[in-house]
Amino acid sequence: MKRCGDMLGLQGLRLPPAGFLLLLPFLLLLLLPAAPAPHRASYKPVIVVHGLFDSSYSFRHLLEYINETHPGTAVTVLDLFDGRESLRPLWEQVQGFREAVAPIMAKAPQGVHLICYSQGGLVCRALLSVMDEHNVDSFISLSSPQMGQYGDTDYLKWLFPTSMRSNLYRICYSPWGQEFSICNYWHDPHHDDLYLNASSFLALINGERDHPNATAWRKNFLRVGRLVLIGGPDDGVITPWQSSFFGFYDANETVLEMEEQLVYLRDSFGLKTLLARGAIVRCPMAGISHTAWHSNRTLYETCMEPWLS
């Protein structure tokens, strides 16, 4: 009688031991290509723009915080118009920063975030107005005089030692004065007509004075995904401090909040539209002086980190 192996034509062949057959499925798994590692969504690049008399070195703590909470984020602290060069006319600075941010945006189709401090917040708002194809997701305005500045500060006393805020309009609202960045956003509530006629920067980006680009600038500004406004009552430089939130003095030096400002009521550059779509975040914080906003860890975690997607 033939054995089963002979009947199947396997005579003369040495069969593998039973233990090997049990391991065979696992060995086959080793030969399969490895599954790709799970892909973690990358963070959008962050661009940082400094303020008056600043440089990129001032933001070393902020850079550290971003690297800790969002590892792998590409952060660029733009090193332009440092120190006294920050007194250059703001439109000149806008052009320089535009040339620097355009290539970064072009390489980030998913969008970028802007963190812009003090005077830099006005530079960035102008960038959002003049750049037709910007792709800014979050624009974080860090203690920036968005509705202008009207206060005696150490910066002013150094720059114009013989002038007080009550008579600085005589300098700032002249062609010579408009060659200084700080005069580009000097906003004297007692001389509103002079401000509207002489301001070569703030009155234009606010849409307070007619100009041929107003409609296009408003459309460009509204491309922003989110506007985050940060400031506080202990700032000590931005005057009034509510300017960081688009509030400002009336002729009696009573502060009117953003919703009471004509630029909001007329929606002249898009504030009202942004608020209606829930795209404005206001983050006031007490106890922080002007030069400490970008180094305060609690402020970063509360008001900035949540919006750096």
Active site residues: 118, 235, 290
Q: Which residue has the tokens 């608020």?
A: 275
Tokens found for residue 87: 């007194």
Whether the Cβ atoms of residue 99 and residue 130 lie closer than 8 Å to each other = no
Tokens found for residue 295: 């180094």
Whether the Cβ atoms of residue 76 and residue 103 lie closer than 8 Å to each other = no
Tokens found for residue 29: 């798994």
Q: What is the CA radius of gyration of the chain?
A: 29
What distance in Å separates the CA atoms of residue 222 and residue 225, rounded to the nearest whole number?
8
Q: Which residue has the tokens 């189709």?
A: 109
User: What ranges in 39-153 are assigned the alpha helix state H?
Assistant: 60-69, 90-106, 119-130
* β-bridge partners, 141: 116, 229
Whether the Cβ atoms of residue 127 and residue 220 lie closer than 8 Å to each other = no
Distance in angstroms between the alpha carbons of the first and the last residue of the chain: 78
* CA-to-CA dists, residue 280 to 136, 185, 270, 275, 276, angstroms: 14, 22, 11, 5, 9
